[in-house]
């Protein structure tokens, strides 16, 4: 499946939507770190006893040709950050069929073992979270 979709489906749009939702609307604190395993993590947020490590994916210039590769890269990137059990890990991506088609290929049992959430970002910036 290839082609162009909503032009703003770039990774930066996904990141901005998550920061708006978690930090601005729900009071999470954005945590920056330059040391492994948090180095190069797209979003790390914390509020009280809840911490999330999130890798964001998007479609450069609205082009969906590389969704499979980008999704698989995101899986590898977030797995590298999984060093603690009591953290919510997630991949955030546009809520489009190309990413949905990739996400359904990951068995729910694997997602439960990894505590891996999907965070879907809609065209209007609204997000929803799919539990493992």
Residue 44 makes CB contacts below 8 A (sequence gap 6+) with 30, 31, 32, 33, 38, 51, 52, 53, 54
Q: How confident is the model at residue 73 (pLDDT cuts 50, 70, 90)?
A: very high
Residue 40 pLDDT > 80, yes or no? yes
Q: What is the Cα–Cα distance from 74 to 86, expressed in whole angstroms?
A: 20
What is the per-residue pLDDT for 7?
58
Q: How confident is the model at residue 110 (pLDDT cuts 50, 70, 90)?
A: very high
Residue 3 pLDDT > 80, yes or no? no
In this prediction, residues 117-122 reach a mean pLDDT of: 97
Residue 2 pLDDT > 60, yes or no? no
Instruction: Indicate the average pLDDT of the chain.
Output: 90
Residue 23 near residue 86 (C-beta atoms within 8 A): no
pLDDT digits (tens, 9 = 90+) for 6-30: 556 889 999 999 999 999 999 999 9
pTM of the model: 0.90
All structural domains of the chain, each given as residue ranges with its CATH number in brackets, are 11-130 (3.40.1350.10)
Q: What is the Cα–Cα distance from 112 to 32, expressed in whole angstroms?
A: 27
C-alpha distances in Å from residue 123, one per residue of 43, 45, 59, 101, 102? 20, 23, 12, 18, 19
Q: How confident is the model at residue 51 (pLDDT cuts 50, 70, 90)?
A: very high
What is the per-residue pLDDT for 6?
53
Q: What is the Cα–Cα distance from 130 to 28, expressed in whole angstroms?
A: 19
């Amino acid at each position: 499946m290839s082609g162009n979709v909503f032009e703003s489906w770039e990774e930066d749009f996904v990141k901005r939507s998550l920061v708006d939702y978690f930090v601005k609307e729900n009071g999470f604190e954005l945590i920056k770190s330059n040391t492994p395993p948090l180095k190069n993590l797209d979003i790390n947020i914390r509020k009280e006893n809840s911490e999330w490590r999130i890798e964001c994916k998007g479609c450069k210039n609205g082009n969906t040709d590389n969704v499979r590769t980008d999704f698989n890269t995101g899986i590898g990137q977030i797995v590298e950050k999984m060093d603690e059990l009591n953290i919510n890990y997630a991949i955030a991506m546009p809520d489009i069929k190309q990413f949905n088609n990739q996400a359904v290929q990951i068995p729910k049992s694997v997602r439960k073992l990894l505590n891996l959430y999907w965070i879907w970002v809609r065209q209007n910036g609204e997000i929803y979270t799919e539990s493992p």
